[in-house]
A and B are shown apart, each in its own frame.
Chain A
Amino acid sequence: AQSVTQPDIHITVSEGASLELRCNYSYGATPYLFWYVQSPGQGLQLLLKYFSGDTLVQGIKGFEAEFKRSQSSFNLRKPSVHWSDAAEYFCASSGGSYIPTFGRGTSLIVHP
């Protein structure tokens, strides 16, 4: 069975600083991996996805993620965080099926 772990419940960064949110997956074969963002009271917006090929994936809003099979990781990065990036970030996987399973989420707090 597939599972996704987000080890950090909260991450606090200063505006303009770089960001890395961690995600680890558990699945035997190559999983399909996603990062979603959710603002309070809103739905989930897809930031980026990884199916195969180039392990560095570019997404919307200046985000990127790198798939590392050796570390079973798919960490999300952004070089310079804006106050509007404050939100809940979910890593998800659909390895083995097309139905996404979510990690517990990481709350990003941005200080001015």
Chain B
Amino acid sequence: DTEVTQTPKHLVMGMTNKKSLKCEQHMGHRAMYWYKQKAKKPPELMFVYSYEKLSINESVPSRFSPECPNSSLLNLHLHALQPEDSALYLCASSQIPGRTGGTEAFFGQGTRLTVV
């Protein structure tokens, strides 16, 4: 099983709403990621969790709040978003290799977020 499951697939929210995006994997991966992707652009890294701890925050505004409740789940809490935050949000996971190892990331299908 190489599946990363994201819910919901589509989300429309107002600028005063609070919502959450969810991501789940059962591959035993200990690294999980959130990426943001605008149309016709590559994915941009937002956050990385390693062993359930936040290891990278790419200077993301605080209106995005990640959470990793356990090794299989990753959430992204959204509050007071702006219309420019509308994008495809992708979750990914991977193993954490040893010093000389490599590993591939597996991506979910994404959540299409529209902020109105």
Interface size class of A (residues with CB under 8 A): 20 to 34
Binary contact track B74-107/A, C-beta < 8 Å → 1, others 0: 0000000000000010101011110001111111
Which single residue of chain B is at the shortest CB-CB distance from A51? B102
Q: Are B94 and A98 in contact (CB under 8 A)?
A: yes
Q: How far is the CA of A51 from the CA of B103 in the complex (A)?
A: 8
- At the interface, yes or no: B7 with Cβ under 8 Å from chain A? no
- List A contacts of B110 (CB < 8 A): 41-43
Beta-carbon contact of B102 and A94 below 8 Å = yes
User: Across the interface, do A45 and B107 meet the contact criterion of CB distance under 8 Å?
Assistant: yes
Q: How far is the CA of A47 from the CA of B108 in the complex (A)?
A: 15
Partner of A102, one of B42, B94, B96, B101: B42
Given contacts A51-B102, A90-B42, contact A98 B31 (CB under 8 A): yes
A–B Cβ pairs within 8 angstroms, 8 of them: A32-B102, A32-B103, A43-B109, A44-B92, A46-B104, A46-B106, A51-B101, A104-B41
Task: Please list the residues of chain A having a beta carbon within 8 angstroms of any beta carbon in chain B.
Answer: 32, 34, 36, 41-46, 49, 51-52, 90, 94, 98-105, 107
